[in-house]
Amino acid sequence: MDTYENHYPGAIEVLESGLEDSLQFYNFNRLDARKISSTNMLERLNREIRRRTSVVGIFPGMDSYIRLVTTYLIEYAEDWSSSGRCYIKPDIIQLSKEDRLQVA
């Protein structure tokens, strides 16, 4: 940071102010850091929304676009909730909560 402080003072200020927040996932020892530090799921979801909306091409109005995206998001949420799939297992989340309460 000392190297770039003179060239990019704004960027270094943002880095210093948000560094602690951006490293919080290391406090969750039981969770896979790759899963909670990654945006892969969101990127995949956004890519799928883009793919579905580009098939339509031009929407008659914003309402029709919102309906299509909302329908897909509802379908996506139902798939995850009904199939038993989970990105992070609930028991691991519960153990992490208990760990955090013991530390505090």
Domain residue spans in the chain?
32-87
User: Using CB atoms within 10 A of its CB, is residue 44 exposed (0-12), middle (13-18) or buried (19+)?
Assistant: exposed
Express each pLDDT in 64-94 by its tens digit. Answer: 999 999 999 999 888 877 766 777 777 887 8
7-54 pLDDT tens trace: 999 999 988 898 888 777 777 777 776 677 677 888 999 999 999 999
As a whole number of angstroms, the distance between CA 83 and CA 74 comes to 14
- What SS3 class is residue 39? coil
What is the pTM for the complete model shown? 0.54
d(CA 2, CA 84): 49
Q: What is the DSSP letter of 59?
A: -
Distant-in-sequence, close-in-space partners of 65: CB < 8 Å, separation ≥ 6: 53, 59
